């Protein structure tokens, strides 16, 4: 299992052709208290960079983008009742969706954990 | 996801102004954003935490971006009540509230109106308590429109009325159930003030304008402090364990729970005070005289009913409905959310907006179109939380 990161602060953890996606610990900290999450329905297809989900803090709503092209095979509907898990465990319990990858080659354009850490340090 | 507006702004323009408390915000680890032309703290410890702290203890807010000013008669040899009546007559040309009937040391919310009765700004006008200051009014307008307000004063008031800006000073709000107990420690005389009263008090030999008012629904004070005393004054308050700094994020969620309007969102020139449910700012004497801008339209709306009205909105699920969300009934658009978010005190979303008057009754079931999906909601009374003013 390998985890990649986007410049828009999504993480994507890949096992074969199945990827789990969420927002990074850095993004969750920046957002503050998450009060609402809207995840897409199973079966929806997204292109890389499409608006895929919404995460809301007290202050504002932010779009979460699809880090890769693919179809939603599972959504974390538990986030509807416990949006706070995005703050408590953003890269674990707070996952958003599972995506069946359409084009695994897209992964090569993403950052690994070390590169992402350096990227955030420059934000 | 997008973090701008959330994360620290990348480009801090040279043209952004800094308040007298700017260095203190940096020391306190504030996250700063551009707001109303200023570099302002949006949060310190976190919006929710700051919000709940203010409701339980006391929050310190830097609102120096706002537009405090004084308008005074300069040419006329008047004093006391006569002077007050003369300056009131000047200002009453621009606002529909009775300023002449304000007692010394009292403040009143009012609105600046355009010729069509549209709201140019909402503002607090105070008649000073001090006999030597009769003929002067202390006015605080909104930061985002202060320059156009002052231009309007310059244009609309007689040539012997002077306008003295005071936005070089710090305007500090201390809000919350423990605000009075804290402030008494450094300004003992503040205890005598009640809600919407104002007095000039001395701190370290200089004048602090102390008004018992605010924008949170809590008891509290707004203090106009000379620039060089701003940081020591704020530090004296923050030295008390009951006080924590609060940013603009929590200021917005606090005022929304209190049902208070934000100019530019809930109020603008397309709304009249009647539509905004602010008819109460127009006292009987002014209605009888009908001598304010837009009086024909406003009095007509009071007599009949405006097409649209500002109401509270209670979403019935967990999705916040933000500014701009369409309100529907049976597939027809009947209004729009002007402020909406999450209430940390109630732990659910809340909103306010304008809706066709036929549907403005509390309890009316409506739908909110949130990102293409209709969600159930109900019209409700404002405020969402009962205020805790010291009347």
Instruction: Determine the pLDDT at residue B382.
Output: 98
Closest Cβ–Cβ partner in A31, A33, A54 for B371: A54
Tokens at residue A31, please? 């957002």
Cβ contacts (< 8 Å) between B8 and chain A: which residues? 123
d(CA B58, CA B384): 20
CB contact under 8 Å between B1 and A9, yes or no, is yes
Yes or no, beta carbons of B47 and A57 under 8 Å apart: yes
Domains of chain B: 22-64+169-257 (3.30.1360.120), 67-165 (3.30.70.1400), 307-380 (2.40.30.110)
- Pull the structure tokens for residue B210: 């102390």
Rg (C-alpha) for chain A, rounded Å, is: 13
Number of residues that make up chain B? 391
Which residues of B are less than 8 Å from A31 in CB distance? 3, 6
Fold (CATH) for A2-121: OB fold (Dihydrolipoamide Acetyltransferase, E2P) (2.40.50)
To the nearest whole Å, the CA of A20 is away from the closest chain B CA by 16
DSSP label of B118? -
Quick check: A85 and B32 in contact, CB under 8 A? no
- Domain ranges in chain A are 2-121
Q: Is there a contact between B253 and A35 if contact means CB atoms under 8 Å apart?
A: no
Q: Residue B66, SS3?
A: coil
Tokens describing residue B192: 């005598």
On whether the CB atoms of residues B307 and B328 are closer than 8 A, the answer is no
Helix (H) or strand (E) holding B149: helix B146-156
> CA dist B330 to B11, B337, B356, Å?
45, 17, 14
Strand residue runs (E) in chain B: 31-35, 38-43, 58-62, 67-73, 107-113, 119-126, 136-141, 161-165, 170-175, 198-203, 206-211, 220-225, 243-245, 308-315, 326-329, 332-343, 348-356, 365-370, 373-380
The pLDDT profile of chain B, 391 residues, written as one tens digit per residue, is 766 544 444 445 558 999 999 999 999 999 999 999 999 999 999 999 999 999 999 999 999 999 999 999 998 889 999 999 999 999 999 999 999 999 999 999 999 999 999 999 999 999 999 999 999 999 999 999 999 999 999 999 999 999 999 999 999 999 999 999 999 999 999 999 999 999 999 999 999 999 999 999 999 999 999 999 999 999 999 999 999 999 999 999 999 999 999 999 999 999 999 999 999 999 999 999 999 999 999 999 999 999 999 999 999 999 999 999 999 999 999 999 999 999 999 999 999 999 999 999 999 999 999 999 999 999 999 999 999 999 9
Distances (CA, A) of B192 to B13, B102, B240: 43, 18, 21
Q: Which residues of B touch A56 (CB under 8 A)?
A: 319-320, 342
Of A38, A59, A81, the CB nearest to B47: A59
Strand B243-245 vs strand B58-62: parallel, antiparallel, or unpaired?
Answer: parallel
Q: Which chain B residue is nearest to residue A9, measuring alpha carbons? A: B1
Q: Give me the residue from A30, A33, A56 closest to B48, CB to CB.
A: A33
Q: Is the pLDDT of residue A18 over 90?
A: yes
Q: What ipTM did this prediction achieve?
A: 0.89
Instruction: Give the pLDDT of residue B7.
Output: 43
Phi, psi dihedral angles at A37 (to 5 degrees): -135, 135
At residue B21, the 3 state secondary structure works out as coil
pLDDT category at A59 given cuts 50, 70, 90 is confident
């Amino acid at each position: 299992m390998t985890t990649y990161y986007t410049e828009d602060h999504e993480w994507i953890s890949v096992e074969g052709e199945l990827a789990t996606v969420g927002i990074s610990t850095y993004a969750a900290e920046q957002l503050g208290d998450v009060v609402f999450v809207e995840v897409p329905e199973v079966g929806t297809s997204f292109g890389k960079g499409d608006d895929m989900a919404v995460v809301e803090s007290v202050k504002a709503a932010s779009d979460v983008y699809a880090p890769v092209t693919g179809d939603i095979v599972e959504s974390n509907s538990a986030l509807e009742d416990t949006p706070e898990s995005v703050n408590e465990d953003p890269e674990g319990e707070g996952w958003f969706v599972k995506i069946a990858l359409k084009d695994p080659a897209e992964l090569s354009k993403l950052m690994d954990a070390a590169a992402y850490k350096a990227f955030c340090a420059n934000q | 996801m997008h973090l701008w507006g959330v994360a620290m702004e990348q480009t801090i323009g040279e043209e952004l102004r800094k308040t007298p408390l700017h260095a203190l915000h940096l020391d306190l680890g504030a996250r700063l954003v551009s707001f109303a032309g200023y570099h302002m703290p949006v949060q310190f410890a976190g919006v929710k935490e700051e919000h709940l702290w203010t409701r339980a203890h006391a929050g310190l807010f830097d609102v120096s971006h706002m537009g405090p000013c004084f308008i005074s008669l300069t040419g006329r040899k008047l004093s006391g009540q006569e002077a007050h009546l003369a300056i009131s007559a000047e200002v009453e040309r621009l606002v529909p509230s009775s300023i002449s009937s304000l007692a010394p040391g009292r403040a009143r919310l009012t609105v600046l109106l355009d010729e069509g009765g549209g709201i140019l700004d909402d503002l607090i006008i105070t008649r000073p308590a001090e006999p030597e200051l009769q003929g002067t009014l202390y006015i605080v307008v909104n930061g985002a429109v202060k320059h156009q307000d002052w231009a309007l004063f310059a244009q609309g008031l007689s040539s012997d009325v002077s306008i003295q800006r005071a936005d070089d000073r710090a305007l500090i709000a201390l809000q919350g159930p423990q605000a009075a107990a804290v402030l008494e420690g450094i300004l003992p005389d503040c205890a005598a003030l009640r809600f919407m009263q104002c007095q000039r008090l001395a701190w370290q030999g200089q004048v602090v304008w102390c008004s018992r008012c605010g924008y949170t629904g809590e008891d509290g004070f707004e203090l106009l402090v000379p620039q060089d005393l701003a940081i020591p004054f704020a530090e004296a308050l923050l030295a008390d364990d009951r006080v924590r700094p609060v940013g603009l994020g929590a200021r917005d969620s606090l005022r929304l729970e209190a049902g208070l309007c934000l100019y530019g969102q809930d109020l603008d020139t397309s709304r009249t005070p009647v539509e905004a449910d602010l008819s109460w700012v127009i006292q009987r004497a002014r209605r009888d005289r009908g001598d304010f801008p837009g009086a024909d339209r406003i009095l007509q709306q009071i007599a009949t009913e405006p097409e649209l009205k500002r109401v509270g909105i209670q979403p019935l699920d967990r999705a916040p409905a933000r500014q701009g969300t369409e309100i529907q009934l049976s597939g027809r658009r009947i209004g729009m959310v002007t402020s909406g978010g999450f209430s940390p005190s109630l732990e659910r979303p809340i909103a306010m907006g304008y809706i066709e008057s036929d549907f403005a009754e509390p309890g009316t079931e409506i739908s909110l179109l949130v990102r293409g999906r209709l969600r159930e909601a109900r019209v409700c009374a404002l405020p969402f939380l009962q205020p805790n003013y010291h009347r």
